[in-house]
Amino acid sequence: MKPQIGVLAVQGDVREHARSLESLGATTRLVRRPEELEGLDGIVLPGGESTTMDKLLRAFDLRDPLRDRLQAGLPAYGSCAGMILLADRVLDATADQQTLGGLDVTVRRNAFGRQVDSFEEDLSMPEMLGESDRPVRAVFIRAPWVEAVGPEVRVLGTVATGPAAGRIVAVRQGNLLATSFHPEVTGDHRIHEYFLRMTRG
Ligand SMILES: NC(=O)CC[C@H](N)C(=O)O
């Protein structure tokens, strides 16, 4: 059976994720209401603006049901703002900003600084993609990085060069996967493919 994957659709680059998942054979459902969480095999939390997404999650009464599903083990992949939503701790958050949590990491919002609002870099991610695979072209757009990880978190990607060298930009803990970057904009579906494998257990 085709996996049924939700894409949180309150704000952000929803369509690109849905397209990527569908190109890999998944069925997608845009999620705006609590009922739409029923029967999903996994959910993608897209990039966008984490403060806005947090407000809308609460306004749509979706925050608590989604958090409950994540705690019950629903596999989730958060990209950029989605990574922030999954993080237990956020630096440079707005005063009333909340997250769904579950991922035992501290992320810093807009971490790469104003001069480099957006940039791209090749990341090799051997643990995720295999030793011999070509690197992932990672697109960062006002991206967070992961500043600290708990003992259960596996680091899957770090920046290789430049002032941010060594910064953590991809992590996994159990059923939760998060990247600082946006694989949905490059036409490279390997991160989504990895997530679909996670949803199959
Ligand atoms: N591309 C993105 O998702 C940017 C994230 C945004 N800077 C935030 O804090 O939510």
State the pLDDT at residue 116.
61
Query: Which pTM does this prediction carry?
Result: 0.96
Task: Kindly give the confidence (pLDDT) of every residue in the chain, 201 residues in length, as a single tens digit, with 9 standing for 90 and above.
Answer: 899 999 999 999 999 999 999 999 999 999 999 999 999 999 999 999 999 999 999 999 999 999 999 999 999 999 999 999 999 999 999 999 999 999 999 999 999 876 567 889 999 888 888 777 889 999 999 999 999 999 999 999 999 888 889 999 999 999 999 999 999 999 999 999 999 999 998
Give the three-class secondary structure for 185.
helix
CB of residue 178 inside a 6 A radius of ligand 1: no
The residue contributing the CA closest to ligand 1 atom 6 is 49
State the pLDDT at residue 114.
66
Strands in 70-131 per DSSP E? 76-79, 87-91, 103-108, 118-123
80 CA from centroid of ligand 1 (Å): 6
**Which ligand 1 atom sits closest to the C-alpha of 12?**
3
